[in-house]
């Protein structure tokens, strides 16, 4: 089979499109012919060697895809040959994957392979930040960093279902236009507008009830200048590096505000099979009912995975970039 592997961390040139041996399907596994692969910013971080959880090399990148079942192990009962399935797990930048049966979920006929592949990571992340970590209430205001990205656009769609008011941050006016069309209430271009002042203005001086920050870095402390009383910051990414803020000092500056700070990683949900299965079922239902629909920005052939990574690194995408074998 064909696969995109990395043998070492580095730039775009470490992504190698190679012939590798076909995987063997064990008793508790499913062999899937991959049709669509969803790429995530974490794939870029792994390629660059900046992710907290690094694979052994050589590694086939990626952690979500969709395809057709080609073979099932003797212990597998919930899917059969020919079923269309989402694979939520490694590997995915390849044409054939043998994966544990627990990572394979059938999806409805009215959903296409690209939308199915794009579902797990961005929607589960958005869903659990809104409903498990914060338990949002209708009418609350959420400030979304990287609002035009994969998680950002998933958050906008789920935020609408939850009745939230939403403010998004982006670096480009074109992306701002697209997410306004998706129904976000306000967009701030953080390259050209003063973010803290604009958020305070939009919220009539109160600040946001929830801030979803995947950028962090040096400006993380700004969150506490635009957070409502009893508001919460959820830190879930390191696009600009680890936060440099003295957190206890930041939240203790005005005790009467009772600020909350949480860290979120999707692995925490995966550790709880019931929580993850229930939310996954809800999201597949929303997808089948047309309540959510992943925004597909570009489809790139698998052998050109480097182009897909470049799109993400250049901040170019609105929504998801898909690889097709």
Ligand X SMILES: NC(=O)c1ccc[n+]([C@@H]2O[C@H](COP(=O)([O-])OP(=O)(O)OC[C@H]3O[C@@H](n4cnc5c(N)ncnc54)[C@H](OP(=O)(O)O)[C@@H]3O)[C@@H](O)[C@H]2O)c1
205 or 267: CB nearest ligand X: 267
If one asks whether residue 86 binds ligand X (CB under 6 A), the answer comes out as no
**DSSP H or E segment with residue 201:** helix 195-202
Structure token digits, residue 107: 């999806």
Q: Which residue number, 29 or 64, has a Cβ lying nearer to ligand X? A: 64
Q: 103 phi and psi, to 5 degrees?
A: -95, 5
- Could you say whether residue 279 binds ligand X (CB under 6 A)? no
Cβ 310 to ligand X, closest distance in Å?
11
Phi, psi dihedral angles at 69 (to 5 degrees): -70, 125
Binder to ligand X among 59, 214, 296, 302 (CB under 6 A)? 214
Binding mask 51-80 for ligand X (x = CB under 6 A): ------------------------------
Q: Are 320 and 118 in contact (CB under 8 A)?
A: yes
Contact present, 81 and 104 (Cβ < 8 Å): no
CB of 314 to ligand X, least distance (A): 8
Transcribe 10-50 into DSSP letters.
-SGGG-EEEE-PPPP--TTEEEEEEEEEE--HHHHHHHHT-
Window 235-274: residues binding ligand X (CB under 6 A): 236-237, 239-240, 264-266
Interface segment toward ligand X; rule CB under 6 A; list 7-15, 63-71, 149-157, 219-227: 149-157
* Complex with ligand X: residue 110 or 171, whichever CB lies closer: 171
Q: How far is the CB of 165 from ligand X (least distance, A)?
A: 20
Which residue's CB is nearer to ligand X, number 33 or number 217? 217
Distance CA(131)–CA(290), nearest Å, equals 20
| CB nearer to ligand X: pick between 96 and 125 | 125
Residue 280, interface with ligand X (CB under 6 A)?
A: no
How many other C-beta atoms lie within 10 A of the C-beta of residue 91?
Answer: 24
Contacts of 288 (CB under 8 A, 6+ apart): 107, 108, 110, 111
For the record, the structure tokens of 136 come out as 């949002």
Which parts of 103-132 interact with ligand X (CB under 6 A)? 121-122, 125
Least Å from the CB of residue 269 to ligand X: 8
Q: Is residue 233 a contact point for ligand X (CB under 6 A)?
A: no
In this chain, which of 32, 34, 37, 41 binds ligand X, going by CB under 6 A?
41
Among 6, 76, 86, 148, binds ligand X (CB under 6 A): 148
Q: Least distance (Å) from ligand X to the CB of residue 84? A: 23
Q: How many Å apart are CA 258 and CA 148, to the nearest integer?
A: 30
**Contact region for ligand X (CB under 6 A) — 19-27, 100-108, 159-167, 232-240?**
232-240
Q: Of 189, 213, 188, whose CA–CA distance to 199 is shortest?
A: 188
Which residue, among 132, 193, 136, 124, has the nearest Cα to 166 in the 3D structure? 136
Total residues belonging to the chain: 325
Rounded to a whole number of angstroms, the minimum distance from the CB of residue 40 to ligand X is: 4
What are the residues whose beta carbons fall under 8 Å from the beta carbon of 186, sequence distance 6 or more? Answer: 166, 167, 168, 198, 202
**Subset of residues 165 to 204 that bind ligand X, contact rule: CB under 6 A:** 170-172, 175
Binding site for ligand X (CB under 6 A): 40-42, 121-122, 125, 146, 148-151, 170-172, 175, 214-215, 236-237, 239-240, 264-266, 312, 315, 317
């Amino acid at each position: 089979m064909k696969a995109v592997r990395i043998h070492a961390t580095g730039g775009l040139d470490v992504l190698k499109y190679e012939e590798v041996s076909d995987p063997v399907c064990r008793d508790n596994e499913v062999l899937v012919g991959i049709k669509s692969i969803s790429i995530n910013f974490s794939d870029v971080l792994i390629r660059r060697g900046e992710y907290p959880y690094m694979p052994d090399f050589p590694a086939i990148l990626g952690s979500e895809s969709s395809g057709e079942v080609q073979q099932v192990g003797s212990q597998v009962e919930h899917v059969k040959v020919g079923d269309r399935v989402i694979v939520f797990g490694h590997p995915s930048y390849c044409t054939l994957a043998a994966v544990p049966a627990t990572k394979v979920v059938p999806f409805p006929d009215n959903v296409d392979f690209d939308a199915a592949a794009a579902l797990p990571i961005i929607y589960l992340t958005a869903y659990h930040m809104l409903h498990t970590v914060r338990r949002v209430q209708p009418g609350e205001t959420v400030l979304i960093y990287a609002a035009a990205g994969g998680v950002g656009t998933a958050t906008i769609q789920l935020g609408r279902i939850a009745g939230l008011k939403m403010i998004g941050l982006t670096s480009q006016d074109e992306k701002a236009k697209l997410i306004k069309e998706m129904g976000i209430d306000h967009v701030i271009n953080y390259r050209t507008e003063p973010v803290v002042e604009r958020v305070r203005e939009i919220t009539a001086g109160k600040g946001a009830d929830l801030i979803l920050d995947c950028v962090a870095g040096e400006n993380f402390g700004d969150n506490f200048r635009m957070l409502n009383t009893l508001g919460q910051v959820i830190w879930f990414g390191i696009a600009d590096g680890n936060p440099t803020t003295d957190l206890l000092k930041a939240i203790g500056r005005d005790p009467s505000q009772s600020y909350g700070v949480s860290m979120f990683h999707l692995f925490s949900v995966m550790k709880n099979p019931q929580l993850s299965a229930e939310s996954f079922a809800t999201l597949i239902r929303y997808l089948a009912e047309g309540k959510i629909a992943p925004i597909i920005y570009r489809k790139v052939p698998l052998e050109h995975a480097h182009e897909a990574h470049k799109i993400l690194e250049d901040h170019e995408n609105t929504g998801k970039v898909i690889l097709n074998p």
